[in-house]
A and B are shown apart, each in its own frame.
Chain A
Amino acid sequence: MRELLNGRIEPGKGPVFWIVGALLVIGMLFLPGLVGRYTLLNFNSFLLMVFLATGLALLWGFCGVLSLGQSAFFGIGGYAYGIVAINLADSPWASLAGVAGGIVAAVVFAALLGWLTFYGHLRGVYVSIVTLVVTLVIESFLNQTAGPQWKIGTAHLGGNNGLGRFSGAAENIPSLTIPTGGGNSLVISGSSPTFYYVLIGLIVFTYLLLRALVNSRFGVALAAVREDPDRAETLGYDIRLLQSMTFCIGAALAAMSGLLYVAWGNFITPSVFGVTANVLPVIWVAVAGRKSLAAAILGAVVLQWGAQQLAISGGEWALIVQGALLVLVVLLLPEGLLSLRQQYSRMRDVRSSSLKSQSRQG
């Protein structure tokens, strides 16, 4: 277990890393006491995107597959949560069934898409384009589902107004609800501290789990596929299976974000499949450093917060700044801001070794 947590693939090990990480998490626990309900509502919306970002980092940074369709799984997870929860609205288990439905729907779709792409021997930019186009097609399909005939059970898809009462539909999408026995249940609204604590707990759990995954033999095989797919295949790895499995895990994570997003705001519209929704996770992960799960988590939260501050003060410039940031990072720091740290430690190593050789000569 120790080996899995302190492995060779995910960067960041040693006591300093773990102590800083633990302090950060503990410090985060005090946030609900310090800020108002509105700030907490915003912060919850940043935190729930972390799963989407780690899923993309896993795929792109660890497996070398740049999926531009992560928002498809985000949206499928969100829509499936809404549809299941609306249909079971009377049951206390509605929202938990929605969580299961969202993840299952996304994974099934990912398996199908993975079979079409990876088992079709598609690679590189082809995978990126196919996933992007599929996402845009889902968006245009959902945009024309405004008519009353477009409903699943009691849930109206609602065209570009989307799902949920905020969009003008009669049905409301329930928040996260946990039955506590005896006919009672705990309703966790999107602006509540409980939602925040649930998110922090889920993020820590997901991070440790994914960390163990990428440091395991599976993760080493993924790194082999990323570095050189042909060589990995020659050495006996089933690269299509590895890529498809990672694609499904990434889809489950994106769906997790999607269904939490719906549970948070009680609505979803087809715009979650749009081009802008698609490019933002790529920006977070590319800027922070795609080869680290921790960097992806920090990147998602910090960049969303920064973008919101920019949007408050600079209006429409926020997207321009983010787009320019993406171009600059690709040109100057292809591995993201994380590579600054590696360059620093390499410089330190060079200096210390040259000092050593000097002292030896002296």
Chain B
Amino acid sequence: MGDIISFAYQYADSFALLALSSIGLVIIFGMMGVINMAHGEFMMIGAFGASFGFQWGLPLSLAIVTGVFAATAIGLLLERLVIRKLYGRLLYSLVATWGISLVLSQGALVLIGPSVPSLPNPFGTVSVGGMNFSVYRLFLVALAIALIVTLWALMRFTNFGLHARATMTEPDMAEALGVRTTRIYMVTFGLGAALAGFAGAIFGLSAQIQPTFGAAYTPIAFIVVVVAGSRNIIAGLLASALVLALVKTSFTVGFNILTGYVAMLVTALIIIRLSPTGILDLIGKLKALASQHRSSTAGTSAEETKNA
């Protein structure tokens, strides 16, 4: 029993890590097709901003908001100056954002220094049935779920969400019908940067805040994004993070952390090898296979009704 609870705890923890570190990237990629190589640096800016806010004497929650604002401001600025000029040229935007990531991380090192004071972690531990759980980790899980639900509601019920979904599926038609697609792109990029900054500030509660802070999360976020695909951002993100976290946790528990990481990558490669457009299409294919199998084993009666 204890093993099961411990596994569930670790599973939820890695799910939260994958979902939080990739949510900003998933939105930008899903909406605009742009792979933002500076994603990790937006996270770094969020953590730096929160650290500065806290040093100015702001309460922790407002310090985190400061970090989010900093990341959003830089994201919007870059969208206007660089990304906007490269719409539709995805490889160029990838290369340009890579240059930006180099400038941001090295710039932080030169201008601010190798590290900034860390943030206090206000969470303690709870003990349930003789096992200790970090409240911070549980908070991350709750936060990941809350963010995904909020994002879903935003896309489903607001005017912005409607326009965003229209822009995502048929940009030309959306524009012809009066949706200001460039504004949608700008807001999307800003939202992605804000979520990256938020994740960075939250992760900054338990990590040393350095200019290379984001670099560790970037490859993980990329793996989640390519597996999530761009058909349905929220369902894709959820499925991708759930499956990859399961693989990662199983192999981490069975072997070690590195094996968990490599197994996660190999799983991602297998998923996109089977279904280049992401995990949702793979699930769709499997469902189709299963129903085919069921109808063929169910005998010829179904076939006959169909023919009739």
Contacts and interface: CB of A to CB of B under 8 A. Distances in A.
A275 B215 contact: yes
A144 B259 CA distance: 11
Contact of A323 (B102, B223, B273): B102
Contact of A286 (B35, B95, B272): B95
B82 A327 contact: yes
Interface in B70-106: 82, 85-86, 89-92, 94-96, 98-103, 106
A330 B272 contact: no
Interface residues of A, number: 39
Interface in B257-276: 258, 261-262, 265, 268-269, 272-274, 276
Contacts, number: 104
A192 interface: no
A322 B100 CA distance: 10
A335 to B, nearest CB: 11
A141 interface: yes
A20 interface: no
A330 B222 contact: no
Contact of A132 (B82, B99, B219): B219
Max count, chain A CB within 10 A of own CB: residue among B90, B92, B101, B102: B102
Contacts of A123: 276
Contact of B35 (A122, A125, A136): A125
A339 to B, nearest CB: 13
Contact of A129 (B33, B92, B109, B226): B226
B35 A129 contact: yes
B258 A141 contact: yes
Nearest to A278: B98
A324 B147 CA distance: 34
Interface residues of B, number: 38
Contacts of B99: 279, 283, 322-327, 330
B222 A133 contact: yes
Interface in A104-132: 116, 120-126, 128-130, 132
A140 B106 contact: no
B120 interface: no
Contacts of B86: 330-331
A1 interface: no
Interface string B279-308: 000000000000000000000000000000
Contacts of A325: 99
Contacts of B101: 323
Given A134-B265, A324-B103, A331 B82 contact: yes
Interface string A317-361: 101101111110011001000000000000000000000000000
A319 to B, nearest CB: 4
Contacts of A121: 276
Contacts of A275: 215
Nearest to B264: A137
Nearest to A285: B95
B5 interface: no
Given A133-B219, A319-B102, A66 B95 contact: yes
A133 B265 contact: yes
A316 interface: yes
Nearest to A126: B226
Contact of B102 (A141, A322, A334): A322
Contacts of B100: 323, 327
Contact of B96 (A132, A137, A144, A331): A331
A283 B110 CA distance: 21
B117 interface: no
A58 interface: no
B35 A326 contact: no
Given A120-B272, A128-B35, A144 B95 contact: no
Contacts of A283: 99
Contact of B103 (A133, A144, A276, A323): A323
Contacts of A136: 219
B285 to A, nearest CB: 14
B307 to A, nearest CB: 35
Contacts of B219: 132-133, 136-137
A128 B106 contact: no
Given A116-B269, A133-B219, A125 B276 contact: no
Interface of A: 66, 116, 120-126, 128-130, 132-134, 136-137, 140-141, 144, 275-276, 279, 282-283, 286, 316-317, 319-320, 322-327, 330-331, 334
11 contacts: A120-B274, A130-B269, A133-B265, A133-B268, A137-B219, A320-B102, A322-B102, A324-B103, A326-B102, A327-B96, A334-B92
Q: Please provide the 9 A-B residue pairs with the shortest distance between their CB atoms, ordered closest to farther.
A: A323-B102, A326-B99, A327-B99, A120-B273, A323-B103, A319-B106, A330-B96, A323-B99, A136-B219
Interface of B: 33, 35, 82, 85-86, 89-92, 94-96, 98-103, 106-107, 109-110, 215, 219, 222-223, 225-226, 258, 261-262, 265, 268-269, 272-274, 276
Given A120-B276, A331-B82, 16 more contacts: A116-B273, A123-B276, A125-B90, A125-B91, A128-B35, A133-B219, A133-B222, A134-B265, A276-B102, A316-B109, A320-B102, A320-B106, A325-B99, A326-B95, A327-B96, A327-B103
